[in-house]
Amino acid sequence: MGVTFSMIKPDAFKQGLSGRILSDIEQSGFKIVKMRVVRMSRDQAMDFYNSLSHLPFYNDLCDYMSSGPIVALVLEADDAVKRFRDLIGATDPAMAMCGTIRSKYGISKGSNAIHGSDSDLSAEREVKFFDL
């Protein structure tokens, strides 16, 4: 059994899409192990995304991720990291495959509804980071 970390991002939370997104996640075979509504400070957002600090969108990303509450999730399934990335789709909702969470609920490359860990190592770091 594998574990991954996810966040329902501020745009989706604010629009009242959390219930539908959680339903999609559960119907795809993921077990919700931990879940909490939290708001990241800007410093926490900077720390969470520190590997992207050299990129031009980093400041906007940190502003956005600290702009409102998120739903932090620890999810369990076989091959959880890869299967969850498949479920959420590409970073840009316009490029994400039909039926994926980002294609259904994302607004833009920045406001793309949901986060999913990109490796087992990231999942471990991100679960610890939020200490749910």
Least distance CB 102 / Mg ion (angstroms): 12
Binding site partner of 91, from ligand DAT, Mg ion, none, Cβ cut-off 5-8 A by kind: ligand DAT
Least distance CB 29 / ligand DAT (angstroms): 21
Structural contact between residues 36 and 132, judged by C-beta atoms closer than 8 angstroms: yes
Task: List contacts with ligand DAT (CB under 6 A).
Answer: 52, 57, 61, 91, 109-110, 112, 115, 118
From the candidates 30, 115, 116, 123, give the one annotated as an active-site residue. 115
Does the annotation count 54 as an active-site position?
no
What residues between 81 and 120 interact with Mg ion by CB under 5 A?
118
- State which residue, 20 or 109, has the beta carbon closest to ligand DAT: 109
Least distance CB 50 / ligand DAT (angstroms): 12
DSSP string, the chain: -EEEEEEE-HHHHHTT-HHHHHHHHHHTT-EEEEEEEE---HHHHHHHTGGGTTSTTHHHHHHHHTSS-EEEEEEEETTHHHHHHHHH--SSTTTSPTTSHHHHH--SSSS-SEEE-SSHHHHHHHHHHHT-
- State which residue, 23 or 50, has the beta carbon closest to Mg ion: 50
Q: Which residues contact Mg ion (rule: CB under 5 A)?
A: 118
Catalytic residue positions, numbered: 115
